A and B are shown apart, each in its own frame.
Chain A
């Protein structure tokens, strides 16, 4: 009896050393992540409750929620918020359709499968700013082939609707391949036998897609949508290069940046940061609660099998 007890002690010792090792291995990564995100988040909440303008450093003081009142009653903020939502919803919707088409193409194509896959990765790899410049010049009158061909005699990047369309085009071009890859991985999870069985049961191509493929892929689709929605909400690079926010095309990221660099008002800037953070949290919450998106983190527990 005694010996068993001693042995058990030794075993929990082994367990404890496994924990210690795990913590030691994780500590550096966790520390960096918390230090570079956690502290600034707390700090931005603190700043958002203060008057803090770098142009008037002497006038720092606690003002409660006054900054929030200023931002939330500001029409520029709400315009930017609307633009961001618009770009997010439209571009993610288009990406989903195009991405699915691309994924099916990659999944089913008979020829040059490797070539197609490689080529579709290029938009993912290209620096967003480079792509944005390409679109910028393409739509600039005189310089661009698209401006000449599609809208001769006008300057699309000086009109609000056209600008938004081009921003969405640039976003869609850049991120559809990523969407397609995530969906492709989901497609690969649909067993061929299931589709054959559905065909034997009398389902046509479209019915097989809607009734079999889509439901089986649902988790993959939701994860892809969640990732892309949150990513699209951050839209910045394309707007910066294409319009610099002219003609009411600023996103929330764009106006936060402008406020920081041109306004140097850290109180207002931090307030916007906190508001964006809350908006993103709400989006994520909606996805997880309403659609039941399995957080990819949960799979990290269960192992990949």
Chain B
């Protein structure tokens, strides 16, 4: 059990590249913190610095108040689970799990007891004498977990431990991992590029981009109150819709029609001294088929009518895609997001893509007109230059 503190930690490589810049983060005792971001954002480097596998260039790492920068990995009493699992191929499952205990010169009886206990928890008892090569992906993953928990270390570090599993198994393992962490109550730092994993597992999420922390907060907080365009676009699936908007006479002119500015929003814009041209963000789940919205609710919101471009029916819900005849959104942070997610259509000029989530009972059809309702108070406004969320309240 331990508290991990990163105090202005930076990593600069010998070639001058800055991989991680001034991270300030306190992981509380027993907390499950997720480092999430696109590949190359510095999340694995950060984890490796905590592990001691990479040197910290500047700043200080403290575990339980003790400076760790100069300690070898073995003297930090933390365990790590690797993306590739890094199981020793020449050792059996039992030997793999016992390895850290043997190195720590634990008595034989205790080694046996703890390995068997861990195997029981992870449902590996019958595989103890097999080699990693003869195990399935899920079993290997559990052995890697087992090797971490037998030591009862101060903290777990996990580097994309589930990304080599297929989608279904990943879902199952996510649940059992979460349960296991709560049960053991061990401080955990977990790295992933998958925002779903981040949302479902973490007590708190740290969003990283290009070596900089974008935002730290609980999953719900990041979803409801993203601090900038990058976080807004990265968290949530499908991603938030972004459209251009212009403030005119207390109204917001958007491709979805004129939207009155609520008092709350106007106050924020005034306080931030916002420019007239803005980016408006709306989550797909904040739309609904207008035909399914009750009259009195409908009046509180706005509607727009457009032709459905593509309709995806998932059974439990429907996604209606629209191609709006309007200027696409341009912003540096959105370009970054498009680059890392590979979805270049975020920034195409000429048309803007809009995704809306509708109830399964919606009668929407492809290539037919549909009237869609949305709540203007849910929309989020961003500064196109800095990407800052102008309607953010901490």
Interface residues of A (CB under 8 A from B): 3-4, 7-8, 11-12, 14-15
A11 and B17 alpha carbons, distance in the complex (Å): 13
A-B complex: 5 closest residue pairs judged by Cβ atoms? A11-B14, A7-B57, A15-B14, A3-B58, A12-B14
A4 and B18 alpha carbons, distance in the complex (Å): 11
**Residues on A with beta carbons closer than 8 Å to the beta carbon of B13:** 11
When the two chains form the complex, which single residue of A4, A12, A14, A15 contacts B12, counting CB atoms closer than 8 Å? A4
| Interface range for B | under 10
**Residues on B with beta carbons closer than 8 Å to the beta carbon of A7:** 12, 57-58
A7 and B56 alpha carbons, distance in the complex (Å): 10
A4 and B58 alpha carbons, distance in the complex (Å): 8
**Residues on B with beta carbons closer than 8 Å to the beta carbon of A14:** 14
Task: Give residues 58-90 of B contacting A (CB, 8 Å).
Answer: 58
**Chain B binding site: helix, strand, loop or mixed by DSSP?**
loop
CB-defined A-B contacts under 8 Å, sample of 12:
A3-B58, A4-B12, A4-B57, A4-B58, A7-B12, A7-B57, A7-B58, A8-B12, A8-B14, A11-B13, A11-B14, A15-B14
**Residues on A with beta carbons closer than 8 Å to the beta carbon of B16:** 8
**Residues on B with beta carbons closer than 8 Å to the beta carbon of A8:** 12, 14, 16
A3 and B60 alpha carbons, distance in the complex (Å): 14
Task: Name the residue on A nearest B14 (C-beta).
Answer: A11
Task: Name the residue on B nearest A10 (C-beta).
Answer: B55
Min Cβ gap B389→A in Å is 32
Min Cβ gap A16→B in Å is 11
Task: Name the residue on B nearest A13 (C-beta).
Answer: B14
A12 and B57 alpha carbons, distance in the complex (Å): 13
A12 and B16 alpha carbons, distance in the complex (Å): 11
Task: Name the residue on B nearest A11 (C-beta).
Answer: B14
A4 and B11 alpha carbons, distance in the complex (Å): 11
A4 and B13 alpha carbons, distance in the complex (Å): 11
**Residues on B with beta carbons closer than 8 Å to the beta carbon of A15:** 14
Min Cβ gap A225→B in Å is 36
Min Cβ gap A20→B in Å is 16
A4 and B12 alpha carbons, distance in the complex (Å): 9
0 or 1 for each of B22-58: is its CB under 8 Å from A? (1 = yes): 0000000000000000000000000000000000011
Task: Name the residue on A nearest B57 (C-beta).
Answer: A7
Apart from A8-B14, A11-B13, what are 11 other A-B pairs with CB-CB below 8 Å? A3-B58, A4-B12, A4-B57, A4-B58, A7-B12, A7-B57, A7-B58, A8-B12, A8-B16, A12-B14, A14-B14
**Residues on A with beta carbons closer than 8 Å to the beta carbon of B14:** 8, 11-12, 14-15
**Residues on B with beta carbons closer than 8 Å to the beta carbon of A11:** 13-14
A12 and B12 alpha carbons, distance in the complex (Å): 12
Task: Name the residue on A nearest B10 (C-beta).
Answer: A4
Min Cβ gap A241→B in Å is 45
A12 and B14 alpha carbons, distance in the complex (Å): 7
**Residues on B with beta carbons closer than 8 Å to the beta carbon of A3:** 58
**Residues on A with beta carbons closer than 8 Å to the beta carbon of B57:** 4, 7
A15 and B15 alpha carbons, distance in the complex (Å): 11
A12 and B13 alpha carbons, distance in the complex (Å): 10
Min Cβ gap B45→A in Å is 15
Min Cβ gap A10→B in Å is 9
A4 and B57 alpha carbons, distance in the complex (Å): 8
Min Cβ gap A222→B in Å is 34
Which of B12, B14, B16, B58 is the most central at the interface, judged by chain A CB atoms within 10 Å of its CB?
B14
